[in-house]
Amino acid sequence: MSANETVSHEPATSGKMVVHTSKGDVEVELWAREARENVRNVLSLAAGGAYDGCGFFRIDKESGVVVGDPTDSGTGGFSINYDPESGSDSGIGHEFHKRIKFAKRGIVACMASPDNRNRSQLLITLAPLPDLDGKATIIGKVVNRSLFTIMAMTEMLINEVSFRPEVLPTITSIDITVNPFLDLVPATHVAAAIAKLRAPKRKRKRKRKAVTNAALLSFGSATVGEPSITLRDDDDDDDHAAPLLAAPPRIRAVHDVVGAHKAKAKAKRKRKKLPPPPPPVLAPPSELVATYKAKAAAFADDDARAAHTASKLARLQAMLAKRKAAGGKR
């Protein structure tokens, strides 16, 4: 059977969703009867908002694009079987149909996890991939002109090794336009787990442990914990290492400081006491009176200085008169 015959005999779809991305809208028709459990898983996740914010982390124009990992790393993903209490997720098993093949581009399939169980990651093909037949579950196909939105992503700057774009196109929201399941329940518990996963983690402040600084302790002449930095000369045949920086000066301990003060006080006590200085020699009062009278006569032309000298002379004469009255010697 040729590829064209395979495509023409595809079963009719029974569901539809519109994926709104940062590059445009992508319309996807779903084979809800042929891959019932996997389509229910994707629609339930979409209704709960689990795909919102997920980026197209792998874009390969030779094969396709991959989206649906909340961590955008290619190693994550959730299914509706996720248990928030235990953190376990059994995923969804494969569902194959003999009339649905990877025979054209625009096929939407589930990317299985390492345990070969399907979760939230999706592959949208950009070329026929017959090697995936019987290995990946197909849930739908891109219709109308929506495939051009996917092809436009291949024009972005992409790492040639990891196929990761420099700026990830993202899914903004998903609308379920044709719901094939009347009992569909939004997977809000998965959306809550994703929000918690994406929340920025608060850094815990580590308590610093008290560390004994060996440089504060003095044990003789030994210095403990003082690093020595040396510069190795590779051109020297003697393999000689010259010091680059001298060791930092040792901090004096408390007992060193106290001992220094005691030694200083002891040395001060040993000093000999100097004799008191001799008293100043004063001129006799009679000579002072004669001196002030001579100055007053010399400052006759300077009224200010003459008045100042006369004032001193008057105070001196008053002091002498007081002493004479008290019986003192003049």
**Comparing 212 with 231, which gets the higher pLDDT?**
212
146-189 pLDDT, tens digit each = 999 999 999 999 999 999 999 999 999 999 999 999 999 999 99
Q: Which residue reads 């996890």 in tokens? A: 113
Q: What pLDDT score was predicted for residue 325?
A: 84
41 pLDDT higher than 80: yes
Its pTM stands at 0.60
CA distance 80 to 82: 5
Burial class (CB in 10 A: 0-12, 13-18, 19+), 50: buried
53-99 pLDDT, tens digit each = 999 999 999 999 999 999 999 999 999 999 999 999 999 999 999 99
242 pLDDT higher than 50: no
Nearest CA among 30, 23, 120, 105 for reference residue 66? 120
Residue ranges per structural domain of the chain:
3-198, 285-325
Q: What is the CATH number of domain 3-198?
A: 2.40.100.10
196-207 pLDDT, tens digit each = 988 887 777 776
| 259 SS3 class | helix
Joined together, the tokens standing for residue 99 give 């009339």
Model confidence at 247, pLDDT cuts 50, 70, 90, reads: low
109-156 pLDDT, tens digit each = 999 999 999 999 999 999 999 999 999 999 999 999 999 999 999 999
Q: Which residue reads 């609308």 in tokens? A: 175
Q: What pLDDT score was predicted for residue 293?
A: 80
Q: What pLDDT score was predicted for residue 228?
A: 47
Per cent of the chain over pLDDT 90 is 55
Per cent of the chain over pLDDT 70 is 75
Q: Which residues, at least 6 apart from 255, have a Cβ–Cβ distance to it below 8 Å?
A: 218
Strand partners, 155: none
